[in-house]
């Protein structure tokens, strides 16, 4: 059984007119999954908000206080940085997005679901312990990993991040925490301009050159990710699933195809079956060309459903 987390509040968070990280992304995913008959195969659930305690495993109390203070009640939007803003729904959506990943971990680790995909907004992987940035406010996957380690007592959690942007937030939160192995690919020298030199011995960062297709990614996955993950023997695999390396997505210069997302998702599912009883929790990060995003999520869910 593959669980699919959603919530109406994810559609209400907006960062301004014409912002690429828009509710249209989730509408496109939902329409595509409906059209393909995939939604009917999924166990769809509404997220519950994460508790402050579960968020504070990876963020400071001050960070949550700052977000509460910044949430606008007197204007439509409040800017956090040049491209990140809050509206009156943002904070609740962020708590729900984090809560989805945490509940997905509970379902997968207790055997109530084989795997799960969280179709959430806002995304999380750029959010650092003290800093909202890059469309992210709360680091959903980091909080899910901390929950698996602290509450379920796991010893080894793998985080796979294939968003085209480096997952700086997750890296800074878990650098040199040997209970976590983070493997990632991202386009070098684009936002957030980090990742070239890993911050910790438990970080396997693969920067990819602009204008390359899926071949260097496939090579890195086969030669570097898979051996490292097999050696680490994760008890759970978490995925920061960004689909913005797609050739149709102008947020980056990588040229991955639909077929690359099929291949990558199947590789991860096979690895999970070999190492951790197929336990995967995947959470949406980027992906801004809405049709390519919707198709890619469909391919990703095909792989999860076949697990």
Positions that interact with Zn ion (CB under 5 A): 163, 165, 242, 244, 286
By C-alpha distance, which of 306, 145, 138, 164 is closest to 237? 145
Q: Pick from 156, 148, 93: which is nearest to 116 by CA?
A: 148
Q: At what angle do helices 61-70 and 90-109 cross, to 10 degrees?
A: 140
Residue showing tokens 């203070």: 69
Q: What share of the chain is helix, strand, coil (3-state, %, to 5)?
A: 40, 20, 40
Give the residue with the Cβ less far from Zn ion, 2 or 184: 184
Question: What's the min distance (Å) between Cβ of 245 and Zn ion?
Answer: 8
- Alpha-carbon Rg for the chain in angstroms: 17
Smallest distance from Zn ion to CB 74, Å: 31
Q: Of 103 and 128, which CB lies nearer to Zn ion in the complex structure?
A: 128
Nearer of residues 4 and 243 to Zn ion, judged by Cβ: 243
**Nearer to Zn ion by C-beta: 165 or 295?**
165
Q: Residue 287 CB, nearest distance to Zn ion (Å)?
A: 7
Q: How far apart are CA 62 and CA 127, in angstroms?
A: 14
Q: How far is the CB of 191 from Zn ion (least distance, A)?
A: 8
Q: What residues contact residue 75 under an 8 Å CB cut-off, 6+ apart?
A: none
User: What 3-state class would DSSP assign to 50?
Assistant: coil
Burial 253-280, CB ≥16 within 10 A → b, else e: bbbbbbebbbbbbbbbbebbeebbebbb
Catalytic residue check, 89 = no
Q: Say if strands 2-6 and 157-161 run parallel, antiparallel, or are unpaired.
A: unpaired
Query: Which helix H or strand E contains 237, and what residues bound it?
Result: strand 236-241
How many other β-carbons are positioned within 10 Å of the β-carbon of residue 18?
A: 6
Nearer to Zn ion, 207 or 242 (CB): 242
Adjacent-strand bridge partners of 206: 185
Closest CB to Zn ion among residues 59, 165: 165
The answer to whether the CB of 63 falls within 8 A of the CB of 91 is no
Annotated catalytic residue within 59, 125, 126, 300:
126
The residues annotated with a catalytic role in the active site are 126
């Amino acid at each position: 059984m593959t669980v699919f987390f959603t919530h109406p509040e994810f559609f209400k968070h907006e960062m301004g007119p014409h912002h690429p990280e828009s509710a249209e992304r989730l509408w496109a995913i939902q329409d595509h999954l409906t059209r393909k008959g995939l939604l009917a195969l999924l166990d769809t659930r509404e997220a519950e908000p994460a508790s402050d305690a579960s968020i504070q495993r990876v963020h400071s109390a001050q960070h949550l206080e700052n977000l509460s203070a910044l949430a606008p009640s007197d204007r439509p939007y409040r800017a956090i940085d040049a491209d990140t803003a809050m509206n009156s729904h943002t904070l609740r959506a962020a708590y729900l997005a984090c809560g989805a990943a945490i509940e997905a971990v509970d379902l997968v680790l207790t055997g109530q679901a084989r795997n799960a995909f969280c179709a959430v907004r806002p995304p999380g992987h750029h959010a650092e312990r003290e800093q909202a940035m890059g469309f992210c406010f709360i680091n959903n996957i980091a909080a899910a990993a901390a929950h698996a380690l602290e509450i379920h007592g796991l010893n080894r959690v793998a985080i796979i991040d294939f968003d085209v942007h480096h997952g700086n937030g997750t890296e800074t939160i878990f650098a040199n925490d040997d209970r976590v192995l983070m493997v990632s690919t991202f386009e070098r020298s684009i936002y957030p301009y980090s990742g070239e030199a890993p911050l910790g011995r438990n970080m396997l960062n693969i920067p990819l050159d602009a204008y390359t297709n899926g071949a260097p990614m496939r090579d890195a996955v086969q030669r570097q990710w898979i051996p490292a993950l097999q050696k680490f023997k994760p008890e759970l695999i978490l995925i920061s699933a960004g689909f913005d390396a797609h050739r149709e997505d102008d947020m980056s210069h990588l040229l991955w195809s639909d077929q690359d997302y099929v291949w990558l998702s199947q590789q991860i599912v096979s690895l999970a079956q070999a190492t951790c009883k197929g336990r995967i929790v995947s959470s949406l990060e980027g992906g801004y060309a809405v049709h390519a995003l919707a198709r890619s999520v469909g391919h990703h869910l095909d792989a999860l459903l076949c697990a």
